Amino acid sequence: MTVAGTSSTVGSLFRARATIQPAAPAIDYDGRIVSYGELSDRVNRASAMLTAHGLKRGDRVALLSRNRPEYLELELAAGQLGVITACLNWRLSKRELTYCIELVSPKLLIAEAELVAPLDGALTVRDMVTLGAEYEQALKAQTAASAPISAEPEDGLVILYTSGTTGLPKGAVISHRAMMARALVFSSELKIGQDESFVAWAPLFHMASTDHALATLLRGGTVVVVDGFQVAPLLSAAARYRIGWFVLIPGMVEALAEGFRANPVAVKGIRACGAMADLVPPQAIADITQLLQAPYINSFGSTETGLPPASTNLIAIGDIPPRLSKQQSSFCEVKLVDPDDNEVAPGEPGELAMRGPTLFSGYWQADETNARDFRGGWFHMGDVFRRNADGTLDFVDRAKYMIKSGGENVYPAEIERVLMTDTRVTEAAVVRTKDAKWGEVPVAFIARRDDSLTDVELKTLCRGDLAGYKCPRQFHFIAFEDFPRSTSGKVQRHELEARLAQMTSAATSAAAAKQEIP
């Protein structure tokens, strides 16, 4: 039996780190330095503020904010109490965001006024604190004295939202145990040292920033908080700090390279850069590694798993990789299985199943999904790989059709449901296509009742109900009978994807031929 408060948690480990090095810089936000001691005081005040609002172990606080220091202090403060922080994606539409909030039934919403204003009248949360003057006043009213930590290792620390195959977002619960293990894996896999920093520019509602920002604070480094992808602040951070992992995602690699060439800086030292190499042009990988003088992470992980299961491999500086085989991460177990969950032979494709300490605790209020995805004691990721003779893993395809656009997961079913709300649409199917900037983007095939329906109207429909990155970049109108279907009547996306590739190739050839005509 575990006695409450006797096991390490993210909150207790941060408190220990702040005691060891109170004067060291914990956060750098737009040149304003917050020391570990100062951050610890604010975390204690924030914990007292949450308690004053009636939150206790097991409750949820919803956080709707862009990147700012308060984001991290609230995650740490809630973590001391065993309260779970639901990290809301402010890029979602009103419908999507309202669903995510109501899913977790938070006792308190802490938000930026600008982000919460569009939700007026749609929320059932009665208690709210606005970041800024109101939040600061609430902290000043509380004591900075340390209170007992009531969280336990298996308590939820944060809920990070990830799209579901049915289109509705799912709330992945990341425990203290999982977050502490992820922090250790960062150091083990990427050899990140105690004095190396992290630039949190990706949204803190995303695992790339929350996981490694918290890991950095437990380790003793500095988190440079940047509000979104901004070339100048990113390059400035690279010149001022030794950085462990310099996160770059598809769509941003080329932009950072261009910015670097326009305004070169003397990089202080980067241990590794990048992410999701499969979605980045090989030449772009070679270019950015040369400019930053850092290898590129050939990663494969997820919100649910953290950096594992296959993110050990690094692409050397200047290399144009001929293949992107993945190496299995340490501290996790991996097996590839067929549809009946039997392990497949080496060289045969199989769905990747994983278990290990970095794994999340399941999706919030999704018992049926959890029973399916965790069957047999393994988490089934829905991604198909082959195991090579040398032990590496090659990505084959997604068992559950998903579009990966600029680091965000986009599932077609969600977009299709929105398109089908127009009564003139008789069929809608969304597929992926390669994109030089974002890796992949969605494209929609539509069957319509009459020609009165236009792509302009469909674009407007999507923009009103979906995040921008989920909106199809193209709309192709075809006859209902021209949709390829299986014997059960389901639309076969891969055939539409192949048809789209042929259409794109034909259009490119026609354009080239036109240019050749004198």
Averaged pLDDT of the chain: 91
Beta carbons of 176 and 153 less than 8 angstroms apart: yes
pLDDT for 352 equals 96
Alpha carbon distance, N-terminus to C-terminus of the chain: 84
Nearest to 186 by CA among 53, 367, 329, 380: 329
Torsion of CA 315, 320, 326, 330, to 10 degrees: 0
The dihedrals phi and psi of 235, each to the nearest 5 degrees, come to: -70, -35
- Tokens in use for 212? 């490694």
pLDDT for 154 equals 97
Is the pLDDT score of 456 beyond 60?
Answer: yes
Confidence category of residue 3, pLDDT binned at 50, 70, 90: low
* 309 prior amide bond cis, ω within 30: yes
pTM of the model: 0.84
For 413-446, the pLDDT digits (tens) are 788 888 988 889 888 899 999 998 899 999 999 9
For 379-406, the pLDDT digits (tens) are 999 888 999 999 999 987 666 777 889 8
Q: Give residue 503's identity as a one-letter amino acid code.
A: M
Q: What residues contact residue 372 under an 8 Å CB cut-off, 6+ apart?
A: 380
Place of tokens 């408190």: 15
**Contacts by 471-474 with C-beta closer than 8 Å and gap 24+?**
471/415, 471/442, 472/415, 472/430, 472/441, 472/442, 472/443, 472/444, 473/433, 473/435, 473/441, 473/442, 473/443, 474/433, 474/443, 474/444
For 257-272, the pLDDT digits (tens) are 999 999 999 999 999 9
DSSP string covering 264-291: ------EEEE---GGGS-HHHHHHHHHH
- Give the chain's domains with CATH numbers: 10-175 (3.40.50.12780), 270-400 (2.30.38.10), 406-512 (3.30.300.30)
pLDDT for 165 equals 46
Q: What angle do CA 246, 132, 148 make, to 5 degrees?
A: 75
pLDDT for 185 equals 95
For 155-211, the pLDDT digits (tens) are 999 999 986 545 678 999 999 999 999 999 999 999 999 889 999 999 999 999 999
For 105-156, the pLDDT digits (tens) are 999 999 999 999 988 877 888 899 999 999 999 999 999 999 899 999 999 9
Q: What angle do CA 303, 62, 247 make, to 5 degrees?
A: 35
For 292-305, the pLDDT digits (tens) are 999 999 999 999 99
Round to whole Å and give the CA distance between 430 and 193.
Answer: 44
Place of tokens 């674009």: 459
Can you tell me the mean pLDDT for 72-83?
98
Q: How far is CA 167 from CA 96, 250, 376, 413, in A?
A: 10, 23, 26, 5
Beta carbons of 397 and 404 less than 8 angstroms apart: no
